A and B are shown apart, each in its own frame.
Chain A
Amino acid sequence: MDKQIDLDNRAVDIEKDDTQDKDMEKLLAILHDTPEVEIPAGFDQRFSQALKAEGSKIREEKRMAAANKKRKWYLKVAATAAACFVVVFASVSMYNDDIGPDSGRIASEESAETQMSLSGDMFNDATEEGASKDAVISTEGIQEKEDLNLSAEQATIALGRVDAEYRGESDGNGQDTGQAEIYYGMQSSEVDTLCREGSKYAEATEEYWAYRRLVDEYLTGYEFTVTDCQRDKDTGSYLFEVHIVMDPEGQIVDESLILRGEQGEIHESENSTEGDEPQTGSD
C-alpha cells in the first residue's frame, strides 16, 4: 500500500517537473520569438547631426592637444637653453671672479703673470723714461744753441742731428712720404711749398728738409706758413718766404718774412720786413 503511494507521489513529481520544463520551454520560445524592432526613421538624421558635432569637437580637442604638446616642447627647449645659458654665464662669472674651486691656483698664476708683466712694464717705462730724458736734453740743447747764436760748428752738429731725426722719421714711410710730397706736394695738405730752382721745381734733398727743420725751430711758437722756397743754384743757399700769422703770445701778426738758409744756419734775410718779426738765431 505504502509502496503504491510512493509510486503515485513519484509519478506526480515527474509530471510536475515535466509540466514545469514544458512551461519553461514555452516561455523561452516566446522570448526567442520576440520580433526585432526597426530603428525609428528620424533616428539616423538625429544621430548624424550629433555625430558631426561630436566629430568636430573631437578634432578641435585633438588640434588643441597637439598645439599644447608643441608649445610644451618649445617651452622645454627654451627652458633647457636658458638653463644652459645660466650655467655657462655662472661658470664664466665664477672663473672671472676667482670664486671657483681653482681660485687659489688661478690667483697665484695670475699674480705671477702680473709680476712678470709689471717688471716688463717697468723695464719699458725705464727705457721710455731714458729716451724721453734724452729727448728733453736734446730739445734743451737745441734751444740753448738757438739762444746762444750757434757757431758754424755747432750748427753743423745741429744740422747733422736734424738730418738724423729726419732720417729716423723717413725710415718707415717717412722717406716715401717725403718723396711723394716733393713730387705731388701741390696736393698735400702738410707741405704747401716746394723748392724752386730757377723756373723748375728742384728735387727735395736732405739739405732742403734740414733747412726746413731749422726754419720750424727758428720760428718756434709762431704760427706760420712757408709760402715759397727758392734755391740759389750758385751759392746753394735756400730762401724761405714765410707768412707769420700769429706770434707766441697769441697776437695776430700777418706779416711776411724771408729766411735764408746757408752754411747749415738759418737767418733772416735782408729783404725781410722790419717790425714785429722774430729775432733771428744768427743775429
Chain B
Amino acid sequence: MADVYNETVLIEKAKSGDEASFELLIQNCKTKAYNTALRYLRDEEDAMDALQESLIKVFRHLDKFKGDSKFDTWVYRIVVNTCNDFLRKDKNQRTNVSFYRMNEDGETMLEIPDTAPTPPEVFDAKLTTSCVMGCLNEIPKEQKEIIILRDIQGFSYEEIGQILNCSMGTVKSRINRARQKLKQSILEQYDRSCV
C-alpha cells in the first residue's frame, strides 16, 4: 500500500518535470526493461538506445498514464513498442535472408521438410542458450515477443495482455504456437548444420 502511495506521489512529482522522482520511479523496472530490449534487439548498444528512448517517452508522456495498469507494465509496453520500431528501422537497413514464407492465411510458415521425430539426445546436444537465442531471432516477431515476455522475462498472461494490448486467450494461443515454432526452428538449425 505504501509502495503504491509512493508510486503515486512520485508519478505526480515526475509529471511536473522532476527528474529525480522519475529516476526513483523507474528504478525497479529499469533492469527488466533493459533485458527485454536486449532480448528483442540482441545488441547492447541498441538495447541501451531503445531503453533510453523508451524512458524519455515515458517521462514526456507521463500525464497520459491513467493508472489502468501497473506503472511498470505501462513502461514495458512502451519498451516493447520502441523495440519494434527499432527492429522496423533495422529491417529497412539490413537485408535479411528469411526462410519463412507467407501462407494463404497471411501466417508465416517455415519452409522446412517434414522431418522425422528427433532423437532426444540430438536435441539435448543442440539445446544451448545461444542456440535458442539464435533460433528465437528467426521466428516471426509476434511469436518472438511473446516468448521473450512469457518464458524469458516471466510476465503473467494478464501483464502480457496489457503490454501487447490483447486478450489473455490470444496470449495463451500465441504462446503455444510460438513455442512450437521455436522448437521447429531449433531442429531446423540442427538439420542445416548436419548438412
Interface residue ranges, A against B (CB under 8 Å) = 16, 19-20, 22-24, 26-28, 30-34, 36-40, 43, 46-48, 50-52, 54-56, 58-59, 62
Contact status of A50 and B179, CB under 8 A, knowing A16-B117, A26-B127, A55-B18: no
Docked-complex contact B182 and A27, CB < 8 angstroms = yes
Docked-complex contact A59 and B17, CB < 8 angstroms = yes
Q: Contacts of A59 on B, CB cut-off 8 Å?
A: 17
Q: Report, nearest first, the 9 A-B pairs whose CB atoms are least far apart.
A: A31-B151, A59-B17, A55-B19, A58-B17, A39-B34, A51-B19, A55-B17, A34-B152, A23-B123
Contact status of A55 and B59, CB under 8 A, knowing A27-B179, A47-B52: yes
Q: Which of A22, A34, A36, A48 contacts B23 (CB 8 A)?
A: A48
In chain B, positions 1-56 with a C-beta closer than 8 Å to chain A are 16-19, 22-23, 30-32, 34-35, 38-39, 44, 48, 51-52, 55-56
How many Å from the CB of B181 to the closest CB on chain A?
A: 11
Distance between Cα atoms of A33 and B133 in the complex (Å) = 12
Q: Which of A28, A36, A38, A43 contacts B51 (CB 8 A)?
A: A43
Closest to B150 in A: A31
Count of residues in B whose CB is under 8 Å from the partner chain: 39
How many Å from the CB of A60 to the closest CB on chain B?
A: 9
Contact status of A23 and B52, CB under 8 A, knowing A48-B23, A55-B19: no
Docked-complex contact A39 and B30, CB < 8 angstroms = yes
Q: What are 21 A-B contacts defined by CB distance under 8 Å?
A: A19-B117, A19-B120, A20-B117, A20-B183, A23-B120, A24-B183, A27-B179, A27-B183, A27-B186, A31-B151, A31-B152, A37-B34, A37-B38, A39-B34, A47-B55, A50-B56, A51-B55, A54-B56, A55-B19, A55-B22, A62-B16
Distance between Cα atoms of A143 and B39 in the complex (Å) = 131
The contact string, 1 if C-beta is below 8 Å from chain A, for chain B 152-195, is 10100000000000000000000000010011001000000000
Distance between Cα atoms of A214 and B182 in the complex (Å) = 140
Docked-complex contact B183 and A43, CB < 8 angstroms = no
Q: Contacts of B16 on A, CB cut-off 8 Å?
A: 62
Q: Contacts of B129 on A, CB cut-off 8 Å?
A: 30, 33-34
Distance between Cα atoms of A26 and B183 in the complex (Å) = 10
Docked-complex contact A32 and B151, CB < 8 angstroms = yes
Docked-complex contact B56 and A51, CB < 8 angstroms = yes
Interface residue ranges, B against A (CB under 8 Å) = 16-19, 22-23, 30-32, 34-35, 38-39, 44, 48, 51-52, 55-56, 59-60, 117-118, 120, 123-124, 127-129, 132-133, 147, 151-152, 154, 179, 182-183, 186
Total number of residue pairs linking A and B with CB closer than 8 Å? 90
How many Å from the CB of A177 to the closest CB on chain B?
A: 82
Docked-complex contact A46 and B52, CB < 8 angstroms = yes
Docked-complex contact A22 and B120, CB < 8 angstroms = yes
Distance between Cα atoms of A250 and B44 in the complex (Å) = 119
Distance between Cα atoms of A19 and B117 in the complex (Å) = 9
Distance between Cα atoms of A38 and B48 in the complex (Å) = 11
Distance between Cα atoms of A55 and B19 in the complex (Å) = 6
Q: Contacts of B56 on A, CB cut-off 8 Å?
A: 50-51, 54
Docked-complex contact B179 and A24, CB < 8 angstroms = yes
How many Å from the CB of B32 to the closest CB on chain A?
A: 8
A24-B183, A31-B152, A32-B154 given. 13 additional CB < 8 A pairs? A20-B117, A23-B183, A26-B127, A27-B179, A27-B182, A32-B151, A34-B152, A38-B31, A40-B44, A43-B34, A51-B59, A54-B56, A55-B18
Closest to B128 in A: A30
Closest to B33 in A: A39
How many Å from the CB of B107 to the closest CB on chain A?
A: 21
How many Å from the CB of B180 to the closest CB on chain A?
A: 8
Q: Contacts of B32 on A, CB cut-off 8 Å?
A: 36
How many Å from the CB of B128 to the closest CB on chain A?
A: 8
How many Å from the CB of B35 to the closest CB on chain A?
A: 5
Distance between Cα atoms of A54 and B19 in the complex (Å) = 9
Q: Contacts of B123 on A, CB cut-off 8 Å?
A: 23, 26
How many Å from the CB of A254 to the closest CB on chain B?
A: 98
Distance between Cα atoms of A38 and B39 in the complex (Å) = 13
How many Å from the CB of A172 to the closest CB on chain B?
A: 80
